[in-house]
Amino acid sequence: MLFFRLIWESASFAIGSLIANKLRTLLSLLGVVIGIFVIILILASVDSLKKDVNDSISSLGDDVIFVHKWPWEGGFDYPWWKFVLRPQAEYEEVDEVLRRSELAEAASYRVVVNRTVKYQNNSVQNVEISGISENYDKTNNINLDEGRFFTENELRSGKNVTIIGHTIGSGLFEDENPIGKSIKIQGKKFEVIGSLEKEGESLIGTGADSKIYIPYPAIRGLADLNNWRVHKEIVIKSKPNISNAELKDEITGIMRSIRKLKPGEEDNFSLNEASLIAKEMSGITNILNIVGWIIGLFAILVGGFGISNIMFVSVKERTNMIGIQKALGARKVFILLQFLVESLVLSLIGGLLGLLLVFIASIIVQAISTFNLALSLNNVLIGIFISAIVGIFSGLMPAYSASQLDPVEAMRAK
């Protein structure tokens, strides 16, 4: 009971000191506020980035292999010159992969170009248009909001029909229902038969909201598919209970056979999977974490010295009171805890102010962008824990010096 009363009185002293010396306390706590703000802001940003990447990976599928000329990993030293002359994935290779594979459940083909899309007086520029083959809905997540997916006949014949993303629909049709209407791509009319559910922006590509899907044969009239800048890929989905490693081993052998590569000859294709994106992002997030901690710890170190300075001043101002308390029988531990709790409370106030700034920053970021910067309970607890540690260590020396004062000399102090 005495211990809790001590904590309450010490907290009251701390708050009273904060109110009585606003400017001095604010300047001293500034380091803790900035330190906690920087550290928790970085941690919250990294957590939000990881969540965004994981959500994007889920949309791609974790049981899918992508056959490209370009690998998805390489970091800052990406040797693009090594891959630029590789052949692109071709439509004819899809049937060969399916015919030879025992582990693949489905395979599809996609070609990507960017074009301006128009509807009456409205237009959206640089739209990602994907020409897709049969089985694309089996290898990728296609979530329709309205309308339907392509029929097999539409995909094979290359009929001028399209499925549009949410952003494209909003930009072209505003409040109109797009189903049944026709859009123009390079002067060619495409009937809208479906619209996709809204997903929000993604860190991987443009996200489904800004895409348009058309049958693969129909895209041949919109671009020269022999141009090396046209993106082509084969998407292969594994059978249930088959790991990506097993599928990759099989597809590697099949692709080498299809392209007639000799033993010992280097692969002229890359097999990518969604987990590679997370691997690449982990390097970036680790660097962000390190930078955030370094900047934050330097700021907290300054803040710790500030709190320690406040406590030494507080000890000097209350030396006479300390002498009276000791003369009335107060033990050294009582005096030590009194100032240690006061230092802890001051540091926690600085930490909570830093967390409040992170919360405000998250609201501003979400208001002006689509990035979902969220302050999690785990990060709040980390901020409070760091503040507590700083408060305890900053108050140890002043509290110890107060507990060692001679009661007679202390009472004589002015």
List, run by run, the mean pLDDT of 10-residue segments along the chain (414 residues): 63 63 68 83 80 64 82 68 84 91 91 90 89 89 88 90 90 87 91 86 64 91 81 90 88 92 88 72 73 78 79 74 69 74 82 90 81 81 88 84 71 63
Burial of 330 (0-12, 13-18, 19+ CB in 10 A): middle
Q: How far apart are CA 169 and CA 165, in angstroms?
A: 6
Q: What pLDDT does residue 34 have?
A: 83
Q: How far apart are CA 336 and CA 59, in angstroms?
A: 57
Phi, psi of 189 (to 5 degrees): -90, 135
Domain boundaries, the chain: 2-55+279-412, 63-272
Whose CA is closest to 196, among 220, 221, 162?
Answer: 162
Question: Which is it for the CA torsion 252, 253, 254, 260, positive or negative?
Answer: positive
Burial of 289 (0-12, 13-18, 19+ CB in 10 A): middle
Q: Yes or no: say if 167 and 114 are a contact pair by the CB < 8 Å rule.
A: no
Q: What pLDDT does residue 163 have?
A: 93
The residue behind tokens 């459940």 is 105
How much is the pTM? 0.66
